[in-house]
Amino acid sequence: MRTAALPLLALLVACSSLPKGEPAALLPEARALYAKDDVKNARRYAESIWKGHPESEEAEEALFLLAQCRRRLRQGTRAFDNYQRFVDKYPNSRFSVGIALGEYELGTAYLRGEMPGFLFFGADPGFGTRILDHMQIHFRNHSLADDALVRVADYFMEDEDYEQATDALKRLLAEYPRSEHTLWARFQFARTLWLQNQGPLYDERVLIQSRRAFEDYAATARMLGEAERQKEQIATAEQMIVRINERLAEKEYLIGRFYERTKAKTSALYYYRHCVRTYPGTEYATICAKRVGEIEAAAAPVEKPPEEAPAQG
């Protein structure tokens, strides 16, 4: 049994061992193998250069090839490690465009659930957001940098992590105002602000920001001549503005109602009147206007009826 295992062990060692030689001789071999799609052996030659001669002239291209091979071999975490090392060591490399594209493809593969994990478990798709973030930060001017943020935002929205989605969308709008994804990002930015403020403990300031974002989206769509193509989204935005105003008006009413019940009529009138002025046309503005009238009527002095004139005898 031991004798039969020896050839297998020797074969594994031979396959895992790295070729020996000078970088100038190893690099052409790595290139040729990669060109033939023999990425397993191309990786061995590239890794031999990178590990054995990290300061050689050939090390830059070798690290590039090593990262690409590992991505194609679906060695995701090791590929990303190589990409990070490359960006740190060679920030102005002629291979930077290829590195950016490789990171984009690697991050996208994670988000799609295409990367293997440990044993029978799939890889964490969220790791893809980290890779795409790295790509966008270090290659801001790459043609796919805005697409990277779109994919990150999409992932977090699907995962219902609306704060992270909002952050990615905010970066997209700030850094790529002329992106083809601008209108989509404006609408989704407004939507994620709304969605992260559900329930009784919402932040009024964020709701106001969401309303403003929906207004900006609709105005931008019209300004760009996209009103017809964005008709349904604009209608949705306008409905959301109404819903937000109703919710904010309700809050003003409830505060006023609290003060009214505690006999603080002056404070109650302040919030009721503020609701009427700020959110006209809402259901709660109508209710508040009615309460203002009733409180003022109740507070008005009651005139005594005149005394009857004495009877004339």
Q: Which residues partner with 116 through β-bridges?
A: 122
Q: Let me know if residue 271 belongs to a domain.
A: yes
DSSP states of 106-121 as a string? HHHHHHTT-SB-STTS
Using a 10 angstrom Cβ sphere, with 0-12 exposed, 13-18 middle and 19 or more buried, the burial of residue 261 is exposed
Query: In this predicted structure, what is the pLDDT of residue 232?
Result: 96
Q: What average pLDDT does range 244-271 have in this prediction?
A: 95
Q: What average pLDDT does range 271-295 have in this prediction?
A: 96
**Which two tokens mark 250?**
């309700």
Kindly give the residue spans of alpha helices, DSSP state H, lying in the chain.
Answer: 2-16, 23-35, 39-52, 59-72, 76-89, 96-111, 127-138, 145-158, 162-175, 182-195, 204-223, 231-261, 265-278, 283-299
Query: In this predicted structure, what is the pLDDT of residue 201?
Result: 66
**Which two tokens mark 262?**
């505690």
Q: Let me know if residue 228 belongs to a domain.
A: yes
Write out pLDDT tens, residues 141-197. Answer: 999 999 999 999 999 999 999 999 999 999 999 999 999 999 999 999 999 999 988
Helices 162-175, 145-158: inter-axial angle, 10-degree rounding = 160
Residue 236 and residue 65: Cα distance in Å, rounded? Answer: 48
Query: 103 Cβ partners below 8 Å, 6+ apart?
Result: 80, 83, 131, 132, 134, 135, 139
Q: What average pLDDT does range 225-242 have in this prediction?
A: 96
Residue 93 and residue 112: Cα distance in Å, rounded? Answer: 29
Write out pLDDT tens, residues 131-140. Answer: 999 999 999 9
Q: Let me know if residue 207 belongs to a domain.
A: yes
* Residue 311 confidence (pLDDT) above 80: no
Write out pLDDT tens, residues 25-79. Answer: 999 999 999 999 999 999 999 999 999 999 999 999 999 999 999 999 999 999 9
Q: Let me know if residue 306 belongs to a domain.
A: no
Mean pLDDT, the chain, as a whole number? Answer: 90
Query: In this predicted structure, what is the pLDDT of residue 12?
Result: 42
Query: 150 Cβ partners below 8 Å, 6+ apart?
Result: 172, 181, 184, 185
Backbone angles phi, psi at 126, to 5 degrees: -60, -20
Assign 90 a pLDDT band (cuts: 50, 70, 90).
very high
Backbone angles phi, psi at 150, to 5 degrees: -60, -45
Q: Let me know if residue 113 belongs to a domain.
A: no
Query: In this predicted structure, what is the pLDDT of residue 203?
Result: 85
Count of CA atoms in the C-beta half-sphere (13 A) of 104: 21
CA angle 214, 215, 221 (to 5 degrees): 90
Q: Which domain holds residue 286?
A: 181-298
Q: Domain of 272: which CATH number?
A: 1.25.40.10
Backbone angles phi, psi at 116, to 5 degrees: -75, 150
**DSSP-based three-state secondary structure for 27:** helix
Write out pLDDT tens, residues 173-189. Answer: 999 999 999 999 999 99
Assign 117 a pLDDT band (cuts: 50, 70, 90).
confident
Assign 313 a pLDDT band (cuts: 50, 70, 90).
very low
Q: Let me know if residue 18 belongs to a domain.
A: no
Total number of domains constituting the chain: 1
Query: 154 Cβ partners below 8 Å, 6+ apart?
Result: 111
Q: What average pLDDT does range 283-311 have in this prediction?
A: 79
Q: Let me know if residue 19 belongs to a domain.
A: no
* Residue 212 confidence (pLDDT) above 90: yes
**DSSP-based three-state secondary structure for 58:** coil
Query: In this predicted structure, what is the pLDDT of residue 16?
Result: 59
Residue 74 φ/ψ region, left for φ over 0, alpha for ψ in the -120 to 50 degree band, beta for the rest: left
How many whole angstroms from its chain centre is CA 245? 26
